[in-house]
Structure 1
Amino acid sequence: MSALSDLLPPEAIRLDIRAADWKHAVRDAGDLLVATGTSTAAYTDEMIRNVEENGPYLVIAPGFAFAHARPSPAVRRTGMSWVRLAEPVDFGHETNDPVTLVVALAATDAAAHTAAMASLARLLGDPETSRALHEAPTPTALHAVLARQDDVRPVQQAAPAAPAQDRPAAPGMHKILTVCGNGVGTSLFLKNTLEQVLDRWKWSRFVTVEATDTISAKGKASEAVAILTSREIARTLGDVGVPVKVVEDFTSTTEVDGVLRDTYDV
Structure 2
Amino acid sequence: MAALSDLLPVAAVRLDVPAADWREAIRIAGALLTETGATTGTYTAEMIRNAEENGPYFVIAPGLAFAHARPSPAVLRTGLSWVRLERPVEFGHAANDPVHLVVALAAETSGAHTTAMAALAQLLADPGTARTLQEAADPEALHTVLAGAAGERQGERARSGPAVHKILTVCGNGVGTSLFLKNTLEQVLDRWGWSRHVTVEATDTISARGKAAEAVAILTSREIAGTLGEVGVPVTVVEDFTSGPEVDRALRALYDV
- TM-score > 0.5, shorter chain as reference: yes
**Pair 1:230 & 2:231 matched:** no
- Deviation of 1:175 (Å): 0.3
- Deviation of 1:5 (Å): 0.8
**Pair 1:217 & 2:218 matched:** no
Q: Is the 8 A contact 2:71 2:107 kept in 1?
A: yes
- Matched with 2:136 is 136
- Matched with 2:151 is 150
1:60 aligned partner, one-letter code: I
**Pair 1:97 & 2:97 matched:** yes
Matches within 5 A, 1:1-266: 1-148=1-148, 149-151=150-152, 171-266=162-257
Q: In the aligned structure 2, how far is the partner of 1:39 from the partner of 1:97?
A: 27
Q: Deviations over 1:171-228 (max 9, x none)?
A: 3220000000101111111111111111111211110111111011011111100000
Q: Deviations over 1:148-178 (max 9, x none)?
A: 143479xxxxxxxxxxxxxxxx732200000
RMSD: 1.1
Q: Is the 8 A contact 1:5 1:150 kept in 2?
A: no
1:150 aligned partner, one-letter code: G
Q: In the aligned structure 2, how far is the partner of 1:7 from the partner of 1:195?
A: 23
Q: Which SS does the other structure have where 1:97 is aligned? A: coil
Q: In the aligned structure 2, how far is the partner of 1:244 from the partner of 1:226?
A: 6
Q: Is the 8 A contact 2:118 2:153 kept in 1?
A: no
Q: Deviations over 1:237-256 (max 9, x none)?
A: 12211000000000111111
Determine what percentage of the aligned residue pairs are the same residue. Answer: 73
Q: Which SS does the other structure have where 1:121 is aligned? A: helix
Q: Deviations over 1:7-43 (max 9, x none)?
A: 1011000000000100000000000000000001101
2:92 aligned partner, one-letter code: G
Q: Which SS does the other structure have where 2:76 is aligned? A: coil
Q: Is the 8 A contact 1:62 1:98 kept in 2?
A: yes
TM-score of the superposition, structure 2-length normalised?
0.95
Q: Is the 8 A contact 1:3 1:150 kept in 2?
A: no
Q: In the aligned structure 2, how far is the partner of 1:194 from the partner of 1:12?
A: 29
How many pairs are equivalent?
A: 250
Q: Deviations over 1:59-111 (max 9, x none)?
A: 00000000000000000000100000010000000000000000000001111
Q: Is the 8 A contact 1:61 1:250 kept in 2?
A: yes
User: Does 194-203 or 242-251 show the bigger shift?
Assistant: 194-203
1:63 aligned partner, one-letter code: G
1:236 aligned partner, one-letter code: T
Q: Which SS does the other structure have where 1:73 is aligned? A: coil
- Structure 1's unaligned 5+ residue stretches are 154-169
Q: In the aligned structure 1, how far is the partner of 2:100 from the partner of 2:151?
A: 23
Q: Which SS does the other structure have where 1:38 is aligned? A: coil
- Matched with 1:159 is none
1:86 aligned partner, one-letter code: E
Q: In the aligned structure 1, how far is the partner of 2:153 from the partner of 2:214?
A: 33
2:151 aligned partner, one-letter code: D
Q: Is the 8 A contact 2:115 2:153 kept in 1?
A: no
Q: In the aligned structure 2, how far is the partner of 1:146 from the partner of 1:86?
A: 21
Q: Is the 8 A contact 1:63 1:96 kept in 2?
A: yes
Q: Is the 8 A contact 2:170 2:203 kept in 1?
A: yes
- Deviation of 1:132 (Å): 0.4
1:130 to 1:144, Cα distance in 2 relative to 1, 3 A = same
